[in-house]
């Protein structure tokens, strides 16, 4: 079996780029249907750094006008979530009075989503939606609705397609899982 090593961890293939693209196609089709008659221009909120690849691929498929805004949050240390969400870069444009579609690479505990929804409300956004490429279903226990989910997975540590291990591995076109044998 093919393996890669990032720092001190070994990973094996988990989700192919083809499957990722199929999931993005389905999410984009649903969003295009939901936003096709929009009179306003919704914001796509790219949560940096992990969501860059997903946001870029999703935007190519969207058929409605949208504005790209970014924010950078942090909640991971190595392979573990810290449970604390901190803002390391604020919104790159105002969100007041706007509909915002949060674009996440992965949702697990949901702490980031809860914090983002609170920030958007505090900054005066009219409404917000959540779109994630990956959902760790068994880890997600929050009440916030996830409007668009690409792929649901078990609670395992993954890298690739924007997801990282200590800031590396984001550039991998496929998603890799921590090798259970290592």
Active site residues: 108
Decide if 159 contacts 4 (C-beta within 8 A). Answer: no
Beta strands in the chain (DSSP E): 4-6, 9-15, 43-48, 67-77, 80-89, 99-107, 127-136, 148-153, 158-159, 175-178
158-159 β-sheet, strand order? 4-6, 9-15, 175-178, 158-159
For residues 4-39, one letter each, b for 16 or more C-beta atoms within 10 angstroms of the residue's C-beta and e for the rest, the string is bebeebebeebbeeeebeebbeebbeebeeebeeee
């Amino acid at each position: 079996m093919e393996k890669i090593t990032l720092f001190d961890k070994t990973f094996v293939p988990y989700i192919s780029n083809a499957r990722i693209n199929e999931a993005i196609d389905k999410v984009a089709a649903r969003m295009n249907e939901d936003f096709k008659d929009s009179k306003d221009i919704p914001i796509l909120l790219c949560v940096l750094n992990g969501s860059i690849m997903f946001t870029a691929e999703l935007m190519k498929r969207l058929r409605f006008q949208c504005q790209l805004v970014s924010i950078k949050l942090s909640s991971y240390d190595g392979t573990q979530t810290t449970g604390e969400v901190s803002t390391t870069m604020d919104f790159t444009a105002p969100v007041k009075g706007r509909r915002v579609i949060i674009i996440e690479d992965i949702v697990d505990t949901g702490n980031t989503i809860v914090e983002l929804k609170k920030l958007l409300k505090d900054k005066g956004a009219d409404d917000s939606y959540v779109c994630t490429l990956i959902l760790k279903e068994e880890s997600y226990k929050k009440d916030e609705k996830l409007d668009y989910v690409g792929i649901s997975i078990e609670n395992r540590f993954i890298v690739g397609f924007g997801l990282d291990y200590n800031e590396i591995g984001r550039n991998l076109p496929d998603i890799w899982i921590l090798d259970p044998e290592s």
